[in-house]
Amino acid sequence: MAIMKVIEILANSDKSWEDATKKAIKNASKSVKNIRSAFVQSQSVVVNNDEVAEFRVNLKVTFEVV
């Protein structure tokens, strides 16, 4: 029986939500091992001068505890 744990991670990118998600997983994997899945809980943007300046994601990351 596998034991799973869920943590919440916030990340941002000036390119896209997809890029923010990839950055979150890449950085989390430096200290969290056995990542199995990620759920994008929410997405938002920062707007400056009527332009999207930053994409933000809030992820729930699931990993196996060994």
The pLDDT of residue 66: 84
Nearest to 17 by CA among 57, 59, 66, 52: 57
Mean pLDDT of 3-7: 97
Instruction: For tokens 């933000």, name the residue.
Output: 56
Residue 2 C-alpha from the chain's centroid: 23
Contact assessment for residue 35 and residue 29, using Cβ atoms and an 8 Å cutoff: yes
- The domain spans of the chain are 3-65
Which H, E and C letters describe 29-52, residue by residue?
CCCCCCEEEEEEEEEEEEEECCEE
The pLDDT of residue 1: 84
CATH architecture, range 3-65: 2-Layer Sandwich (3.30)
The pLDDT of residue 22: 97
DSSP 26: H
Kindly report, residue by residue over 20-56, the tens digit of the pLDDT. Answer: 999 999 999 999 999 999 999 999 999 999 999 999 9
